Amino acid sequence: MGKLVLWITRKLSDATLERAARDYDVIVNEADGLHTADEIVAMSSKVDAILPCHSEIFDADVAARLDPRVKIIANHSVGVDHCDLAALAARGIVVTNTPDVLSDATADIAVLLMLGASRRAVEGDRLVRSGEWDFWSPSFMVGKQMSGARLGIIGMGRVGQVMAHRARGFDMDVHYYNRRRLPEALEQGATYHDSVESLLAVSDFLSLHCPATPETTGMMNAERFALLPDGAVFVNTARGALVDEDALLAALESGKLMAAGLDCFVTEPGGNPAFATHENIFMLPHIGSATVKTRDAMGFRALDNLDAFFAGETPKDAL
Looking at the annotation, which residues are catalytic?
239, 268, 286
Residue type, 273: P
Question: Rounded to whole angstroms, how far apart are CA atoms 116 and 282?
Answer: 6
Output the furthest CA–CA distance in the chain (Å, rounded).
74
